[in-house]
Amino acid sequence: MVFKERTSRSKGVIENGRLMELHLYPGNQCNRECDFCTVFGAPKGWYTEYTAEHLDATLRTVMLHEQGAIKFYGGEPTLNHENVMWAIAYIREQGFQGAIVIYSNGIQAERLLAILASDPLGKTTASLNYSIATGDGAPQMPLSSLRKLEDHERANPGAIAIGHADIVDSGRGVDPFTGEVTRPKDAHRCPHCYPVLKTDGTFHACPFAVENDAPHFQLGRLDDPPAAITQNFERFLHWLDTVHEPYATQHDLPACTVCWKHLHELPTPASK
């Protein structure tokens, strides 16, 4: 395998009221329909483009220096690559110095490489869908695309990583998953991901559960003060440790199954 997994960075880091990482989500429109997809990605999915308003809210919420990271996902970012390249240019013009990551299935390899090349700081990298890169659990991407991406990674080591093999029970979840049975699926502990700004104007606490509208995940709107968003996220992390994980352990349930099927039994973070 040419592509390497990235080691994940520290979770829950907030500095001067700013998050170390933020995900950006423009909807679940996709050129695939994976049977395990957390966000119900599909060609008929929704898509709303990034605007200056969304990106200004992003720049108020995330660390702007080199430790900060902004992660574009979806759906499939290469379907609307011009809007993604515009967004990258905008956040660089406004002074964002950190890392940018594009989560992609890599099928539109040339568009993905164009997105990486568009960053004036050369600090935009990609993370590929494990199943679509390897063919384990989903039809593999066309080999012509795979070769282009492998060649790029060989010439620019670290530019294109591969995502984790783990499958979590969120969205379409684990039941329809047809890949290797040994792939990990059932930890009681939430991975404590960084939150998401959706192009519908809302901040959501979890990138895996982003299509789940339960009140537990709602952190606020893009015109709310950034301090309110980070404070709500801290409350959410505390709720994960004090309410969610004890429930998952007591009922012997995978962490994401609790979010997907049992939240009505749990108080919201705000009510704690």
Ligand X SMILES: C[S@@+](CC[C@H](N)C(=O)[O-])C[C@H]1O[C@@H](n2cnc3c(N)ncnc32)[C@H](O)[C@@H]1O
Q: Quick check: 141 and 126 in contact, CB under 8 A?
A: no
Cβ count within 10 A of residue 65: 11
49 vs 161: CA distance, rounded Å:
25
Query: Is 257 a binder of ligand X (CB under 6 A)?
Result: no
Site for ligand X in 215-244 (CB under 6 A): none
Own/partner pairs, 265-271, CB within 8 angstroms, 24+ separation = 266/216, 267/243, 268/215, 268/216, 268/239, 269/216, 269/232, 269/235, 269/236, 269/238, 269/239, 269/243, 270/215, 270/232, 270/235
Of 18 and 152, which has the nearer Cβ to ligand X? 152
Question: Contacts with ligand X: how many residues (CB under 6 A)?
Answer: 20
Which tokens go with 61? 């919420």
Q: How far is the CB of 233 from ligand X (least distance, A)?
A: 20
What 3-state class would DSSP assign to 272? coil
Query: Is 90 a binder of ligand X (CB under 6 A)?
Result: no
Identified binder of ligand X from the candidate list 26, 68, 74, 179, rule CB under 6 A: 74
Q: Quick check: 36 and 167 in contact, CB under 8 A?
A: yes
What are the DSSP E strand ranges found in the chain?
A: 4-5, 14-15, 18-19, 21-25, 69-72, 99-104, 124-128, 160-162, 196-198, 202-204, 218-221
Query: Is 104 a binder of ligand X (CB under 6 A)?
Result: yes
Name the one range near ligand X by CB under 6 A: 60-68, 126-134, 241-249, 257-265: 126-134
Of 90 and 103, which has the nearer Cβ to ligand X? 103
Which tokens go with 198? 């959706």
Of 163 and 220, which has the nearer Cβ to ligand X? 163
Would you tell me which residues interact with ligand SF4 (CB under 6 A)? 30, 32-34, 37, 39, 41, 74-76, 105, 129, 168, 170, 190-191, 193, 206, 208-209, 255-256, 259
Q: How far is the CB of 249 from ligand SF4 (least distance, A)?
A: 12
Please choose which of ligand X, ligand SF4, none residue 163 contacts, taking the beta carbon within 5 to 8 angstroms, the exact cut-off set by kind: ligand X
Q: How far is the CB of 185 from ligand X (least distance, A)?
A: 8
Please choose which of ligand SF4, ligand X, none residue 166 contacts, taking the beta carbon within 5 to 8 angstroms, the exact cut-off set by kind: ligand X
Of 41 and 68, which has the nearer Cβ to ligand X? 41
Query: Is 61 a binder of ligand X (CB under 6 A)?
Result: no
Residue type, 14: I
Which residue is listed with tokens 């099928």? 107
Please choose which of ligand X, ligand SF4, none residue 255 contacts, taking the beta carbon within 5 to 8 angstroms, the exact cut-off set by kind: ligand SF4
Residue 20, CA atoms < 13 Å, CB-side half-sphere: 12
Task: Tell which residue, 48, 35, 41, 107, has the closest CA to residue 78.
Answer: 107
DSSP character at residue 8:
P
Query: Is 73 a binder of ligand X (CB under 6 A)?
Result: yes
Please choose which of ligand SF4, ligand X, none residue 216 contacts, taking the beta carbon within 5 to 8 angstroms, the exact cut-off set by kind: none
Task: Name the residues that contact ligand X, by CB under 6 A.
Answer: 30, 36-39, 41, 73-74, 76, 103-105, 129-131, 163, 166-168, 170
